[in-house]
Amino acid sequence: MAEMEILGAKISDYDMVETVCSAAALIDVGRQAGKGEPMLHQIVTLNAEILYKAQTDARLMEIINQAELVTPDGSGIVMAAQKLCNRQIERVTGIDLMQELCKQSAACGWQVYLLGAKPGVAEQAAQNLREQYNTNVCGWHDGYFKEDEQAWIIGEINEKKPDILFVGLGAPRQEFWIAENRSRLRVPLVIGVGGCFDVISGNLKRAPQIFQQMGVEWLWRLLKEPWRFGRMLALPKFMMLVNSQVKAKKRLAQANQRQMEDGRREKKLPQ
Ligand code: UDP
């Protein structure tokens, strides 16, 4: 994999097929490495809002960069990759990745556990995944648990032995939760998937294809959930940061070019 560095975060340039293959490899390695106690691997599906937040939150940036794979979830990241690294990459969103992995799960013999969302939502999502893809959902729990229930939930997850744990507590809460419980979870692969259970359960409609293709899924979410306005201000701020980096890179390249030309001219001058 060729990683790109965008505003301090190392992001994969894999497309969906490569990401699913990589996830399968992480599950295999996780199962084998632990000899009965699987070693945990993490995938972060990163969007501009979270990457912008990580600029002023060193712990969040550390968590992102410790993940085995960070996918470009969100058109802001795709645009940044083009502007800063001159790379055309495919968007690999949390919801698409979760659905792809659930599609493959029956053939690959993977069991999945869903943790997150309001009571009843993960259960409905589990039922839909079973019906649609024949996914083996070995357990679920809502995401509104108290501190003192956490140990029991982690115990239940470990007992059910899922191959993939999908954590839908919203970003970056889920990333902090995974980091905090990394040493206790006996799961080969953990993925934070934000509000995906709401969509898979049928409680929330995903943006129509046209919004997705135009890279304005955020606009759909804003129309449906106007309370997101404050959070979404991170998007223009993120793009401003990207643009100022692009300008800084250009200035640096021009200064280097001038220096080289001055050096050449000095060599040509007669002594
Ligand atoms: N959520 C949860 N526990 C909490 C807070 C939120 O399980 O304490 C769930 C919430 O019900 C929703 C998801 O986390 O299903 C957050 O969705 P959102 O779309 O805000 O997250 P994003 O996709 O933006 O990360």
pLDDT (0 to 100) of residue 128: 98
Of all residues in the chain, what percent carry a pLDDT higher than 90?
81
Q: Whose CA is nearest to atom 3 of ligand 1?
A: 143
Looking at the structure of the chain, the number of domains it has is 1
pLDDT above 90 (res 158): yes
Ligand 1 neighbour 117 (Cβ under 6 A): yes
For the stretch 66-114, pLDDT in tens is 999 999 999 999 999 999 999 999 999 999 999 999 999 999 999 999 9
pLDDT above 80 (res 269): no
Residues written for the chain: 271
For residue 205, report the distance from its CA to the centre of ligand 1, in Å: 15
For the stretch 138-155, pLDDT in tens is 999 999 999 999 999 999
Residues 170-191, mean pLDDT to the nearest whole number: 96
More confident: 212 or 179: 179
User: Which of ligand 1's atoms lies nearest the C-alpha of 231?
Assistant: 24
Backbone angles phi, psi at 185, to 5 degrees: -80, 130
Ligand 1 neighbour 114 (Cβ under 6 A): no
Q: Whose CA is nearest to atom 10 of ligand 1?
A: 117
CB 23, CB 33: distance < 8 Å: no
Instruction: Report cis status (omega within 30 of 0) of the bond before 172.
Output: yes
Residue at 260 is within a domain: no
For residue 60, report the distance from its CA to the centre of ligand 1, in Å: 17
Residues 3-16, mean pLDDT to the nearest whole number: 96
Token couple for 160: 């059910």
CB 111, CB 85: distance < 8 Å: no
Domain span at residue 87?
Answer: 3-243
Token couple for 91: 């968007």
Rounded Cα distance, 176 and 156, in Å = 20
Range list of β-strands (E), 33-95: 41-46, 69-72
CB 44, CB 67: distance < 8 Å: yes
Ligand 1 neighbour 94 (Cβ under 6 A): no
Mean of the per-residue pLDDT values for the chain?
94
CB 18, CB 24: distance < 8 Å: no
pLDDT (0 to 100) of residue 168: 98
CB 203, CB 127: distance < 8 Å: no
Give the bridge partners for 6, in sequence order: 9
Residue at 54 is within a domain: yes
Q: How confident is the model at residue 36 (pLDDT cuts 50, 70, 90)?
A: low
Residue at 259 is within a domain: no
Rounded Cα distance, 19 and 89, in Å = 12
Residue at 249 is within a domain: no
For residue 203, report the distance from its CA to the centre of ligand 1, in Å: 13
For residue 228, report the distance from its CA to the centre of ligand 1, in Å: 12
Ligand 1 neighbour 152 (Cβ under 6 A): no
H helices of 139-225, where? 150-160, 173-181, 196-200, 209-213, 217-224
Query: How much is the pTM?
Result: 0.93
Ligand 1 neighbour 143 (Cβ under 6 A): yes
For the stretch 56-72, pLDDT in tens is 999 999 999 999 999 99
More confident: 213 or 242: 242
Residue at 125 is within a domain: yes
Residues 20-25, mean pLDDT to the nearest whole number: 98
